[in-house]
Structure 1
Amino acid sequence: MTVNPNPHMLLYPRIRKSPFFYASRRHGVQMYSVYNHTYHPRHYGDPIAEYWALLEGVTLWDVGVERQIEISGPDAFDFTNLLVTRDLSTCKVGQCKYVFLTDQHGGILNDPVLLRLEENRFWLSLADSDILLWARGVASHAGMDVRIEEADVGPVQVQGPKSYALMRDLLGDSVADIRYYYLHDYTIDGIDITVSRTGYTGEIGYEIYVHHASRDAERLWDLVWEAGAPHGLQVIGPCHIRRIEGGMLAHGADITVDTNPFEVGMGYDWMVDLDQEADFVGKQALRRIKAEGPRRKLVGLEIGGAPLGSYNDGSMIDAFPVHHDGDVVGKVTSACWSPRLEQNIGLALVPAELAELGTTFTVDTGERPGALLPSGQDLVEAVVVPKPFIDPTKEQPKSDPRAFGDASDGAAASTPSH
């Protein structure tokens, strides 16, 4: 039988649409996936060209699939602190935090960006897993006075070195005052938005959260597109090459409910505060895991063989088995060809005792478009290397964005980490 390497995805009413669905579709979406039960543009024809557009210019992404769970009410702070592994007493109003939500066993349910809008009002900008019903169930069990709902809010990302120049033209010079992992509210042409200096790229970038998205999302998209025209704005899908280079995690691939924060490594241990007063969900399990040590670790790999794809192009249908001494011991969870490094790179979950730098494996890159060998016969060498692969301290996204604009924009200033 003949395998169709690129079957179509059915567009029909049963699957949710992003509030930007029809706006982003105008730019020639070539591939969709489903994320949070919602159609998501993955690329517009050439993921490698999109990668370079992100690194060299400014790009616009439809990420309306990042559903916003709003938590409000008299007990909203205490309840949200119960959900996440970080101590939110250090999170100011107007600040964002990258957080883990874990279950009672310490498994990662989601890794959203949290936005603190008011003392007792938060958004969780979700990765690809259901949290609304989980949060409502925890609230019911905890007996707290909170309201939990999916807000009518849709985000787009504006990412790349020229993103500040676009945002300045769109919203004014005050955009320069938005620090890394902070937010600010604006109104533009009667549209209420929240802008955060965050993104899924490791580059200078912003996320624009459109309030009343079901009404105003497309109009906001058009305003951004108009402001971006002088800067060469390009519409792209999420750039997985760049996020793998930066060691950023994809829920459902690199992390799932079957992984815990101490397996993830890459400096994410600080995201679990076991000394805080709050008895967050999973705290006791994570205390035990930390004491015993994780049995697996997520490592960075340089992978040999022919160039892989861009991850979001259908070239990696499933995780790649990792072999050591003749046995399958783990899996490559995300992998791609890095044009800058001129190397296949990936993230792999392997036994902790095999996670040391320099450990060598064989990886089965399997059957993929263009491959001549069936799965199990396309074995290549791989070696554990430091990660993230590029900019491990995230100096790029923390840079003063004015340094990437006009010469008159001023000198660089320091900004805090998140």
Structure 2
Amino acid sequence: MNENQFISALTIGPRVRKSPFFDATLAAGVKSFTVYNHMYLPTSYGDPLQEYWAMVEGVTLWDVSCERQIEVSGSDAIEFTQLLTPRDVASCPVGRCRYVVFTDHDGGVINDAIMLRLEETRFWLSPGDGDVLLWAQGVAARSGMDVKLTEPDVSPLQLQGPLAPKVARKLFGDVAVEMGYYHLHELELNGIPLVLSRTGWSGELGYEIYLRDGSRGTELWDLVMAAGEEFGIKPACPSAMRTIEGGILSYASDITREDTPFTIGMERLLDLNKSQEYIGKAALQQIAKEGTPRRLVGIEIDGDPISGNDRFWDVFENQDKVGHLTRCAWSPRLERNIGLVNLPTELAEAGTALKVQTLDDLRDGIVVALPWFKSITKIPDDL
């Protein structure tokens, strides 16, 4: 029997932080939470399939305050941010965002993040699950640089789905549909200070709305829901089904410290030979020369629908264990089980036949290229 069948509730207490939208999500009917970055993250409003279809056909609003921001400022802010990531962040103009990875001295991935450049020497880092602020403060303490690292009063919502631009334009005006992908704007809504960015974790059109006054969380939530009512907006949560379909990775599941950016297909985020020093530079340059021994790829799994996995599942070629499945789900659009598997590079080619040990049985699977659905980034001209 699955151990999750014995878990009926998550105890709520002061040790784990509530988001500014916590009360609003309760009023909206949230049914379950998990703990992410020491905060409560909504995981279901009762019907994940309904949330999925609302996300791919309509518009949804998510509380993702657990994306706890790290503000980097000071005269050495650019140099310090360059030290944290192999990507050349100096090439990012003010008012733009970049997707970045942070690596350790062996090239292992510390975390991935959206980086927002608000000013010449002021950045926000929006990471996945993990104590990135503590790590960065440790790096700063030994760097000798003039840099300040803080967690600002910033709490993001995600507005995601093909109708998200309609809601955003109703809230913020034409700037919401004229701004480019991975662009940001500082603005206000009814006097509430915000940052609006064309980013998200759904693979659909979308925005992140960064609240800059935690006392006004319910007010902001209600304003967005009211603006979206005519478009059928639904409260929702990050969707495993949709992110796996899009090859959108989750830190601590699909990405671990054992993986390098080459393992997880993020070579595009590496400016390996940038002149500035960065943590893991020698290791990553060596891997680039020698090749990566493992890769994360897609897999399709035979059989009845699988709702997900509560741990890594073993993957076999013939009778030899060769890797593990990180996440899986039933895809409603593909009408098949899909997942992500970490394999030796020589087995990561599309068409490779494997077996996956699920919770109940050993199933046939076949390697496929990622993603099943590409991310949608361009707002239609006639929206």
What is the TM-score normalised by the length of structure 1? 0.89
2:53 counterpart residue number: 52
Question: What's the secondary structure of 2:223's corresponding residue?
Answer: helix
Q: Distance in 2 between matches of 1:5 and 1:234?
A: 29
Pair 1:111 & 2:104 matched: no
1:181 counterpart residue number: 182
1:192 counterpart residue number: 193
Equivalent AA in structure 2 for residue 224 of structure 1: V
1:234 counterpart residue number: 234
Pair 1:400 & 2:379 matched: yes
Number of matched pairs: 382
> Following TM superposition, by how much is the alpha carbon of 1:400 offset from its aligned partner in structure 2, in angstroms?
2.0
For residues 289-328 of structure 1, the aligned pairs below 5 Å read 289-309=287-307, 315-328=308-321
The answer to whether the 8 Å contact 2:72/2:123 transfers is yes
Spell out structure 1 runs of 4+ moving beyond 4 A. none
Tell me which moved more, 82-91 or 112-121. Answer: 82-91
Among 352, 355, 368, the residue aligned to 1:385: 368
Tell me which moved more, 102-111 or 4-13. Answer: 4-13
Question: What's the secondary structure of 2:262's corresponding residue?
Answer: helix
2:286 counterpart residue number: 288
1:335 counterpart residue number: 328
Q: Say if 1:278 and 1:23 are closer, same or farther in 2 by CA, change over 3 A.
A: same
Pair 1:351 & 2:349 matched: no
1:249 counterpart residue number: 249
> Following TM superposition, by how much is the alpha carbon of 1:23 offset from its aligned partner in structure 2, in angstroms?
1.1
The answer to whether the 8 Å contact 2:105/2:283 transfers is yes
1:9 counterpart residue number: 10
Q: Distance in 2 between matches of 1:2 and 1:149?
A: 41
Q: Distance in 1 between matches of 2:49 and 2:82?
A: 40
> Following TM superposition, by how much is the alpha carbon of 1:7 offset from its aligned partner in structure 2, in angstroms?
2.4
Q: Distance in 1 between matches of 2:379 and 2:13?
A: 44
1:412 counterpart residue number: none
Q: Distance in 2 between matches of 1:124 and 1:242?
A: 24
> Following TM superposition, by how much is the alpha carbon of 1:98 offset from its aligned partner in structure 2, in angstroms?
0.6
Structure 1 unaligned segments of length 5 or more: list them: 310-314, 367-372, 406-418
2:141 counterpart residue number: 140
Q: Say if 1:2 and 1:131 are closer, same or farther in 2 by CA, change over 3 A.
A: closer
Equivalent AA in structure 2 for residue 273 of structure 1: D
Q: Say if 1:295 and 1:2 are closer, same or farther in 2 by CA, change over 3 A.
A: closer
| C-alpha RMSD of matched pairs (Å) | 1.3
Deviations 1:252-289 (A, max 9, x none): 00001111101112xx2111111211111111111111
Q: Distance in 2 between matches of 1:280 and 1:109?
A: 13
Q: Distance in 2 between matches of 1:286 and 1:174?
A: 39
The answer to whether the 8 Å contact 1:161/1:401 transfers is no
Question: What's the secondary structure of 1:264's corresponding residue?
Answer: coil
Deviations 1:270-329 (A, max 9, x none): 1111121111111111111121211111011011121111xxxxx421111101120211
Equivalent AA in structure 2 for residue 282 of structure 1: G
Structure 2 unaligned segments of length 5 or more: list them: none
Equivalent AA in structure 2 for residue 360 of structure 1: A
Q: Distance in 2 between matches of 1:209 and 1:87?
A: 24
For residues 75-224 of structure 1, the aligned pairs below 5 Å read 75-213=76-214, 215-224=215-224
Q: Taking every aligned residue pair, what percent have the same amino acid on both sides?
A: 47
Question: What's the secondary structure of 1:335's corresponding residue?
Answer: strand
> Following TM superposition, by how much is the alpha carbon of 1:118 offset from its aligned partner in structure 2, in angstroms?
0.3
Deviations 1:322-352 (A, max 9, x none): 0112021110101101010111111100111
Question: What's the secondary structure of 1:99's corresponding residue?
Answer: strand
The answer to whether the 8 Å contact 2:165/2:379 transfers is no
Question: What's the secondary structure of 1:141's corresponding residue?
Answer: helix
